[in-house]
Amino acid sequence: HESICAISREMLLRTRELCEEKDFSVIHSLVDCVWLHLNGQTHDEVDSLCREIEKETDLPIGIEGYYSWWVFLPSTRHEDLPVPARYYGRFEDGSLKYRGIEIRRGDQAPFVQIVQGEMLDMLSKAASLSAVQAMEPELRVLIQEADQRLVERQVELQDLLLKRKLSRTAEEYKSNAMSATAARQSARIGKNLIGGQDVHFIVVDQKAGNPDERVKIVELLRQETDFDVEFYREQLRRAVSTLLDPIFGKGRFGV
């Protein structure tokens, strides 16, 4: 494994050197790929670069695509540091690529993912970052309408379900974390989950004194079941912030 990693690093460093020798700006590199900024080079020159990299490294290389714009997202813990696995961008054909954001994560409420997907669909129509910035009014309307649906409780409970993967059985949990409480609720109705299995629940009242009143598993949901509006509004805020803060500034779209 260490030998493979060492060879990989060497090939990646040589690739970066070749790119820079040809006056390409290396924006980022990660394991088996590099992101380049074209400084006036043509697509033919990019093809030529690929052939030279293949010759130098004896490894096949392909072009995934040409991007209209790209956003590297910051670490959730250190806002001033971008991380390699969180990003989104638009290809020249209008399609998008994204990693590490809410729409890709299995622990997010479907409603939040749907809204973020609608935002991405809107952004995909912008062929430049300046065009993205010009979309601020449209984005604001979309976000405010989504927030209003939460405030007015016009969201289906199924679209607010959270999924968590358990690390142990209900009896083994010592804390009152939401997933632990959901596991205990499942056990009480005869559904004994073990570590590695998923539990699905709604956040009913995150601040309730009784942990059992904070969440309700999907099997216990009723038509009259309420949900914690502020909890889900915060989830929506985070999804909005993920996409738009790097472009428009922090908190510009606070809901």
**pLDDT for the residue numbered 124:** 97
Inter-residue contact 59 to 18 (CB < 8 Å) = no
Q: Is residue 102 part of a domain?
A: yes
Domain of 138 in residue numbering reads as 68-155+231-248
CA 182, 183, 186 angle in degrees (round to 5)?
90
Beta bridge partners of 103: none
Inter-residue contact 113 to 101 (CB < 8 Å) = no
Distance between CA 244 and CA 129 in Å, rounded? 11
Beta bridge partners of 89: 70, 97
**pLDDT for the residue numbered 214:** 98
Do 125 and 138 sit in the same domain of this protein? yes
Q: What is the pLDDT of residues 99-147, one digit of tens each?
A: 999 999 999 999 999 999 999 999 999 999 999 999 999 999 999 999 9
pLDDT at 69 over 70: yes
**pLDDT for the residue numbered 79:** 72
Q: Is residue 255 part of a domain?
A: no
* Structure tokens that stand for 20 in this block: 């820079």
* Structure tokens that stand for 233 in this block: 């509004």
pLDDT at 255 over 70: no
246 or 1, which is more confident? 246
- Look at the chain and report how many structural domains it folds into: 3
**pLDDT for the residue numbered 9:** 87
**pLDDT for the residue numbered 236:** 98
pLDDT at 171 over 80: yes
Do 151 and 238 sit in the same domain of this protein? yes
Say what the pTM is: 0.88
Do 125 and 236 sit in the same domain of this protein? yes
Distance between CA 103 and CA 146 in Å, rounded? 15
For the CA atoms of the chain, what is the radius of gyration? 23
User: Mean pLDDT across the chain, nearest whole number?
Assistant: 93
